[in-house]
Amino acid sequence: MTTAQSFYRPLSAHALLERTARDPAERSRLVPESLARIDELDAGIRAMTAVAPRDTALANAAAATGPLAGLPVAVKDIFDTSDFVTSYGSPIYEGHQPKSDAAIVTLLKRNGAVVIGKTVTSEFAYMAPTATRNPAALGRTAGGSSSGSAAAVAAGIAPFAIGSQTGGSTIRPASYCGVAGFKATFGMLPTAGMKCFSWSFDTVGLFAAGVRDAALLAQVLSGRPLAIRGNEQPPVFGVPERYPWTEPSANASNVLETAVRAVERAGGRVRPVRFESWMAELITAHDTIQSYEAWQTLGFEYDRHRAQLSPMLFAFLARASNVDAAAYESACAAMSHAKTRLAELFEGVTMLLTPSAPDEAPEGLASTGDPAFNRNWTLLGCPCVNVPGLTGARGAPVGVQVIGRPWDDARCLEAAAFVERAIIATATPGERAAR
């Protein structure tokens, strides 16, 4: 495996903001530095699909006001942008130029961020592999479908990037690339102007160097008090005894145990929790709901342009065509029932703590990895945070996932920041990722 942590390094948004607060003239240097990083690094990682012209980006930065004033942000190419071609990762939309911005892009601009470019997405945010390489381990995938967004932050191209999650497309790439990833409560951040795959699950995801940065961006975009204050009581984390889906590898299990030890040394508590049978039933429910909805949302592409679909997506949609309304209604009922029982998982605990992915990123670029540890939480609408900072036995990042109740995003982010601080403070150098 080839690692490159000494060359690729995430940028802290807080550090950049502190730098510009000390010297306002520094703000004018942020966008040129981002463009220079793209010129220097992107040929090697292939995170970007489009880059802002220098003069335009500098003009936007000079005019920017607000809490994110002048900070570069990269946006997944599943979101419409009036300033950039938006192809949704598909040759069907090659050269497509939207007339308007997605709502999340408008929010970025209103708050002073400078959209530096678009990032690679898997085709229509499904699972077909991309050419993006993992900056933390160049011989491995950056994950999917938000591969470009995770890689752009991991490489230090931008301090923030926007992604999405329908199964595991924010948390998994964040885990693989060693950065923070935040999937908000379903519906908290707007998806208008995002190419829809499954309207029951599509959720905006945020990438940043660390949890504190991700919380800042979430606060600005949501208008909710989500920034890390660090004055919460030490959390009580529930750690599952077993999983009704893919069991974690020894790598992921060891990383979780390291995080648990760090939490306990920092004053937090950990309790075992048990998943009942209804959690296992949600695996099929997610597949059924996603399939039924994708068959409709991508109906035009399948009916009119199926020859331009990847074999993987074509096969998925062909299978999805067999899901009837009765099966969909049954799966939706199972989802609704599960949401009424969700509180059971949090009895006596503040948050849940699990691996973010079954293992380190797979070798090569033939697979984007397994979203098994993420899908149920997406279905349930829970806020989830990938906490970076640890590595597996083969030297690549493996994250741990903090999961909260829907609309408990503030405490979820606080708990994730607690885990991150605990890892930094108490994990041994051999356990921590090079940052």
| Catalytic residue numbers, as ranges | 76, 145, 169
Identify the burial level of 126 via C-beta atoms within 10 angstroms of its C-beta, where 0-12 means exposed, 13-18 middle and 19 or more buried.
buried
**Long-range CB contacts (< 8 A, 24+ apart) of 279-283?**
279/244, 279/338, 279/376, 280/244, 280/245, 281/334, 281/338, 282/334, 282/335, 282/338, 282/375, 282/376, 282/379, 282/380, 283/244, 283/245, 283/375, 283/376
**CA dist list (Å): 65 to 20, 88, 305:** 13, 29, 43
Collect all residues with Cβ–Cβ distance below 8 Å to 234 and sequence separation of at least 6. Answer: 266, 267, 268, 269, 418
Q: How far is CA 271 from the centre of its chain?
A: 27
Collect all residues with Cβ–Cβ distance below 8 Å to 161 and sequence separation of at least 6. Answer: 73, 74, 75, 76, 119, 146, 148, 149, 150, 152, 153, 206, 207, 208
3-state secondary structure 373-435: CCHHHHHHCCCEEEECCEECCCCCECCEEEECCCCCHHHHHHHHHHHHHHHHHHCCCCCECCC
Structure tokens at 376: 């149920």
DSSP code for 233 = P
